[in-house]
């Protein structure tokens, strides 16, 4: 592949020319604002019970354990069945979970066991939803626009993180967490409406995967036999496990280091602004490269090393920007390079494996990060992930040459 092709850029929003893509992204944006309302409110609710980062880490374990156990299998499911119909079912289940959480909170029964149980239910629905929903995006645009569409999908997901936490910071005081959970439940109507409004005649459905009965094994073997994918997945998994747990410790860091008990929502909003910058930056590229993935990994690592040493809350907000830029730049680059090397009938499985590495690793990294924050030091709870990621980045050296094979 020529250097010109690799470096070629286009409009960052070109895939939105497709009507189905516009409709779906609009519904997804509104729904995800509600999702981040709930995510932010849940983190604050849990931290305020005992003021421990470990509690947040355990909640992350329950929420993402299903992704670790079911994620790869769910990718095979999405490759075999209609992704739109699967997504309608899973989004409905997620809306119901938000209703249950709102009821539990409003009636005064929001104990740790109750929240953990509902987080487990959320995780099961998300494990099945993630590969189907993300795979659906590839059916809304021509093949040559998939990389752009996936970057815009991430932009929408991260853009909602700007609005959602900011709204949570403004509303959690006067309304309380139960109302925020209720608002999230209502927001699912937007994405469900967009799914029913899609013109199926204009979609580009994939050929269904064969019923081999070994979708997970086939996906894992596909990655392991390809040095390009194998090394990228190793780096991605290490960074996702240990450097992406800032939501576990930011509530405690904001409270203990910078004396801002409600500063978590603000830090999450600023991080999300950086995330949108990182996603849009990668969306400009028609072909994604390992170099972009490497740059994102390094920026993420450095941000994890410097953020804990911010002298005050204002500087912490400034340091949170590269945390978002590197994290999302790293994640969107991973999606792009992976999809470029994957045949259509395996794309959901590859995205499921990516989700297992990114979200399914949280049951491991979340509790470890929380324990470090409570027992070793809140500074070290972010720094160790940055160090471990930098140690594996050399595995990416020379992988761009594999594109020519």
Across 71-77, average pLDDT: 71
Across 129-142, average pLDDT: 82
Whether residue 210 is predicted with pLDDT greater than 90 in this model: the reply is no
Q: How confident is the model at residue 213 (pLDDT cuts 50, 70, 90)?
A: low
Please give the pLDDT value at position 88: 94
Please give the pLDDT value at position 80: 76
* Contact of 254 with 260, CB cutoff 8 Å: yes
Across 112-122, average pLDDT: 93
Residues of the chain with pLDDT > 90, as a percent, come to 25
Whether residue 377 is predicted with pLDDT greater than 80 in this model: the reply is yes
Please give the pLDDT value at position 98: 95
Q: What are phi and psi of 285, to 5 degrees?
A: -90, 130
Please give the pLDDT value at position 289: 82
Q: How many CB atoms lie within 10 A of CB 310?
A: 17
Across 342-349, average pLDDT: 70
SS3 of residue 370 by DSSP: helix
**Per-residue model confidence as pLDDT tens digits over 250-292:** 888 888 899 887 788 888 888 888 887 887 777 777 777 888 8
Please give the pLDDT value at position 207: 56
Helix (H) or strand (E) holding 232: helix 227-242
Q: How confident is the model at residue 300 (pLDDT cuts 50, 70, 90)?
A: very high
Whether residue 405 is predicted with pLDDT greater than 60 in this model: the reply is no
Q: How far apart are CA 230 and CA 374, in angstroms?
A: 34
Across 299-316, average pLDDT: 93
Q: How far is CA 24 from the centre of its chain?
A: 18
Please give the pLDDT value at position 92: 95
Please give the pLDDT value at position 3: 40
pTM of the entire predicted model: 0.67
The average confidence (pLDDT) of the chain is 82
Across 365-386, average pLDDT: 89
Q: How far apart are CA 135 and CA 147, in angstroms?
A: 12
Whether residue 168 is predicted with pLDDT greater than 70 in this model: the reply is yes
Q: How confident is the model at residue 212 (pLDDT cuts 50, 70, 90)?
A: low
CATH of 15-205+213-404, one of 1.20.1250.20, 1.20.120.80, 3.30.70.1520, 3.40.50.11890: 1.20.1250.20
What is the residue extent of each domain of the chain?
15-205+213-404
């Amino acid at each position: 592949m020529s250097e010109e092709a690799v470096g070629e850029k286009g409009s960052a929003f070109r895939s939105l020319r497709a009507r189905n893509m516009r409709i779906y992204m609009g519904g997804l944006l509104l729904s995800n604002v509600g999702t981040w309302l709930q995510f932010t409110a849940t983190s604050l609710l849990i931290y305020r019970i005992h003021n421990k980062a470990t509690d947040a880490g355990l909640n992350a374990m329950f929420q993402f354990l299903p992704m670790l156990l079911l994620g790869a299998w769910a990718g095979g499911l999405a490759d075999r069945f209609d992704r739109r119909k699967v997504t309608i079912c899973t989004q409905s289940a997620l809306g119901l979970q938000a209703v249950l959480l709102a009821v539990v909170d409003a009636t005064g029964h929001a104990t740790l066991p109750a929240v953990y149980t509902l987080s487990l239910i959320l995780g099961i629905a998300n494990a099945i939803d993630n590969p189907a929903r993300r795979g659906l995006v590839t059916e809304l645009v021509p093949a040559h626009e998939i990389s752009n569409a996936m970057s815009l999908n991430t932009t929408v997901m991260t853009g909602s993180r700007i609005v959602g936490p900011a709204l949570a910071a403004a509303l959690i005081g006067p309304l309380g967490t139960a109302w925020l959970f209720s608002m999230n439940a209502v927001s699912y109507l937007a994405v469900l409406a967009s799914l029913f409004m899609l013109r199926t005649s204009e979609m580009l459905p994939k050929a269904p995967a064969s019923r081999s009965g070994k979708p997970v094994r086939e996906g894992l073997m596909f990655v392991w036999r390809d040095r390009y994918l194998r090394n990228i997945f190793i780096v991605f998994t290490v960074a996702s496990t240990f450097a992406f747990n800032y939501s576990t410790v930011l509530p405690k860091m904001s409270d203990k280091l910078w004396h801002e008990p409600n500063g978590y929502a603000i830090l999450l909003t600023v991080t999300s602004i950086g995330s949108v910058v990182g996603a849009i930056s990668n969306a400009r590229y028609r072909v994604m490269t390992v170099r972009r993935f490497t740059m994102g990994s390094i920026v993420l690592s450095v941000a994890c090393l410097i953020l804990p040493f911010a002298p005050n809350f204002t500087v912490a907000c400034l340091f949170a920007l590269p945390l978002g830029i590197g994290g999302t730049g790293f994640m969107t680059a991973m999606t792009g390079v992976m999809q470029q090397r994957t045949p259509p009938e395996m794309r959901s499985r590859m995205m499921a494996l990516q989700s297992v590495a990114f979200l399914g690793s949280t049951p491991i990294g979340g509790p470890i990060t929380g324990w470090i924050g409570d027992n070793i030091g809140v500074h070290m709870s972010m720094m160790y992930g940055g160090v471990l990621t930098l140690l594996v980045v050399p595995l990416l050296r020379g992988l761009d040459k594999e594109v020519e094979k």
